Amino acid sequence: MTSDNFDIAIIGSGIAGGALAAALKASGLTVLLLDRRSGPLDTARGDHIQPAMQPVLSRWGVLDLLLEAGAEARTGTRWFDAEGAHIVTVPVPQRDDCAGAFLFLNHEKIADILLGSAQEAGAVNITGVSDWLLERLAGSWRIEWQAEGRPRAATCTMLVAADGTASTVRSRLNIGLDRHRYQYPIAVLYGRQQSATEPRTLDVYLAHERMVSLIPRTGGETKVGFPVSPEDIAFWKTESEESLHRRLAEWCPGVSFESLAFGAIYPPVSQQSASYQGEGAFALIGDARHAMHPARSMGMNTCFRVADQLAESLSGLKSGFSEAQVLPLLSEFEARFAQELTPRLAENHAAGLQMDTIAGSGFIALKTQLRSAAEDTRILNAMALKAAGLTV
């Protein structure tokens, strides 16, 4: 079996793996991506790109590609109470260091664009990989796998795991994990609203007992997300379209849909992995490292942020670098992660807990906070900066 050599091998070519490969495009480093999937990523995931992340994507040379693929702009987040009365709109900050709007494009298209752009710059992307084995050699890693029915192998100086929440690499390398499972799964429906705003907004309804988010999708579609009790899952999967309309009309007064269909159920988790303490050059990124509750549109955006930080840490390396050269850079990356990411994860967890209810009692505390924001521009501006990804 022949074995190719790469500077960096990334296991998992989802958003995080694709983002890192795109971020490394101009580095001159050789990159191999390996993934077990052979189809597209699950679409019902992160698809809104924060204003603060767009200059980063522009630097990687993918922002224009996202726009060409049909990415659309949305303005702020509108909050409504259970009666459908508008509480406040959190705007998008208008500043030089970030875009003037969120951008949205379906999740699997974002992943395809990141990967396509990295491949064009020379990254090797192999999908449909199975039975892979990982071995430490002196100063490098060796990976063996099966693809298209034949055994293959490669060596790399640095290994990156970006294989998602249930990371196999993380468990094989015995990396510790701190995990919180939220009580209520999130149901996702897809539909088309009768009169969506133009430009689009993200709308959140504080129904009496749960928070319901209406999230714009391209082409005038809407993704609806809300927590459900495990006992209600069968209802959402089997109910007629008419009763889905009725239920949403109760929760989001004044909103009506032309069409509505069940999409999927997701059990949200938040988790943070420890940093790797073993031998060799290794980094864990994406949901494998920092899975987040879908609240606040942060998971995918955090993948971009961390990929950019890792690429920046490696920016002084030339192709053919040694393990001894990369190890101190990885220590710096880990120190920055601990300092900058830990507060973001904590903030997201707090938002996840706030949303993790189907007995919200009208969300009195949250409504009070939103009403204060409506009356005080300093509070509103602070919320806008956080939503845009400019502050924690």
Ligand X SMILES: Cc1cc2nc3c(=O)[nH]c(=O)nc-3n(C[C@H](O)[C@H](O)[C@H](O)COP(=O)(O)OP(=O)(O)OC[C@H]3O[C@@H](n4cnc5c(N)ncnc54)[C@H](O)[C@@H]3O)c2cc1C
The distance of closest approach from Cβ of residue 287 to ligand X in the complex, given in angstroms and rounded to an integer, is: 4
Answer yes or no whether residue 163 interacts with ligand X by CB under 6 A: yes
Phi-psi region for residue 164, left (φ > 0), alpha (ψ -120 to 50) or beta?
Answer: left
Distance separating alpha carbons of residues 371 and 369, to the nearest angstrom: 5
What is the dihedral sign for C-alpha 250, 213, 108, 171?
negative
**262 scored as a contact of ligand X (CB under 6 A):** no
Q: Which residues contact 160 (CB under 8 A, 6 or more apart)?
A: 8, 9, 10, 11, 17, 20, 282, 283, 284, 285, 310
Query: Quick one: tokens of 171?
Result: 């468990």
Q: Is the dihedral of CA 42, 44, 45, 47 positive or negative?
A: positive
For position 119 contacting ligand X by CB under 6 A, the verdict is no
Minimal distance, residue 288 CB to ligand X, in Å: 6
Contact call for residue 299 and ligand X (CB under 6 A): yes
Q: Which of residues 218-237 bind ligand X (CB under 6 A)?
A: none
Contact 289, 272 (CB under 8 A): yes
Question: In the bound complex, what is the minimum distance in angstroms from residue 85's beta carbon to ligand X?
Answer: 25
Q: What are phi and psi of 68, to 5 degrees?
A: -60, -30
Contact 348, 293 (CB under 8 A): yes
Query: Which is closer to ligand X, CB of 189 or CB of 244?
Result: 189
| Chosen residue from 44, 143, 260, 383 binding ligand X by CB under 6 A | 44
Give the residue with the Cβ less far from ligand X, 82 or 143: 143
Residue with nearest beta carbon to ligand X: 14
DSSP state of 254: T
| Distance (Å, whole) CA 240 – CA 225 | 18
CB of 11 to ligand X, least distance (A): 5
Q: HSE (CB half, 13 Å, CA atoms) of 74?
A: 31
> What residues between 166 and 185 interact with ligand X by CB under 6 A?
168
Per-position x/- string for 58-87, each x denoting binding to ligand X as judged by CB under 6 A, each - no binding: ------------------------------
Please, which residue, 237 or 318, has the CB nearer to ligand X?
237
Q: How many residues does the chain have?
A: 392
Quote the least distance from Cβ 57 to ligand X, whole Å.
Answer: 13
The CB-of-106 to ligand X minimum distance in angstroms stands at 11
Position 159 contacts ligand X (CB under 6 A)? no
Nearest C-alpha neighbor of 122 from the set 2, 4, 281 = 4
Contacts of 174 (CB under 8 A, 6+ apart): 278
245 touching ligand X, by CB under 6 A: no
Decide if residue 21 touches ligand X (CB under 6 A). Answer: no
CA angle 296, 298, 301 (to 5 degrees): 145
Backbone angles phi, psi at 192, to 5 degrees: -130, 120
Tell me if 112 sits within 8 A of 40, measured CB to CB.
yes
Binding segment for ligand X (CB under 6 A), chosen from 12-20, 171-179, 313-321, 326-334, is: 12-20
Q: Is 134 in the site for ligand X (CB under 6 A)?
A: no
Determine, following the binding rule CB under 6 A, whether residue 307 of this chain makes contact with ligand X: no
- Tell me the one-letter amino acid at 97: D
Stretch that binds ligand X, among 117-125, 297-305, 330-338, 343-351 (CB under 6 A): 297-305
Among 27, 106, 125, 301, binds ligand X (CB under 6 A): 301
Torsion of CA 46, 219, 222, 390, to 10 degrees: 40
Cβ at position 375, least distance to ligand X in Å: 28
Contact between 14 and ligand X per CB under 6 A: yes
Closest CB to ligand X among residues 130, 195:
130
Residue from the set 297, 309, 313, 348 that interacts with ligand X by CB under 6 A: 297
Question: Given candidates 29, 46, 74, 326, which one binds ligand X under the rule CB under 6 A?
Answer: 46
d(CA 207, CA 176): 38
Tell me the C-alpha distance between 54 and 304, whole Å. 10
| List 298, 311, 326, 370, residue binding ligand X (CB under 6 A) | 298
Check residue 25 for interaction with ligand X (CB under 6 A): no
The smaller minimum CB distance to ligand X, of residues 8 and 82, is found at 8
Task: List residues near ligand X by CB under 6 A.
Answer: 11-17, 35-37, 41, 44-46, 48, 129, 162-164, 168, 186, 188, 266, 286-288, 294, 297-301, 303
